Copies of this chain bind each other. A is one copy, B any other.
């Protein structure tokens, strides 16, 4: 697996990853009818990385500060993986990579603001990677088929030498 900075050439591949996730509306709090332009504007507003597997862009993540001002020492990331490459550890590797990047930039912690509880794979992965549940938003996500789901706020300090 090769994780590298996003380049302009990657736009089509990244949109190819984002589109099905956005259209499904099961995990991200993004409007399901976002256009390609809107979705890319959202994703690319921050530092963005792509993960290649077999020479193909198979995953992408962004890294940004989660809040401004007095909250600037806590970062936030979003990760998306191509359905065709699921189960091959992409999310785990991208998350590890993002934690290292975040440390390099001086962030002290990482926060996920909205992990839908029905997205059990994500919840378990983040727990395994050292995140903990620091909040639970009751019924805060309307899943297209499962109805109202809780969402978790997950948090992890970033030790300085890991």
A111: B residues at CB distance < 8 A: 137, 140
Say if the beta carbon of A134 comes within 8 Å of chain B: yes
Among A11-19, A43-51, A64-72, the one that faces the other chain is A64-72
A135: B residues at CB distance < 8 A: 134-137, 153
* Contact B142 A155, beta carbon cutoff 8 Å: no
Say if the beta carbon of A31 comes within 8 Å of chain B: yes
A113-B113, A153-B153 known; A67-B140 Cβ under 8 A: yes
Among A22-30, A83-91, A95-103, the one that faces the other chain is A22-30
A139: B residues at CB distance < 8 A: 108-109
Cα distance, A143 to B28, chains bound together (Å): 31
Cα distance, A28 to B71, chains bound together (Å): 9
* Contact A142 B73, beta carbon cutoff 8 Å: yes
A70: B residues at CB distance < 8 A: 25-26, 29, 116, 141-144
A135-B153, A153-B135, A153-B153 known; A140-B68 Cβ under 8 A: no
Cα distance, A151 to B73, chains bound together (Å): 13
Q: Which residues of A contact B (CB under 8 A)?
A: 25-26, 28-32, 67-74, 108-109, 111, 113-114, 116, 134-144, 151, 153, 155, 157
**Cross-chain pairs A/B with CB under 8 angstroms, 15 sampled:** A30-B68, A31-B68, A31-B72, A70-B116, A71-B114, A71-B142, A74-B140, A108-B139, A109-B140, A113-B113, A135-B137, A135-B153, A137-B155, A138-B157, A140-B155
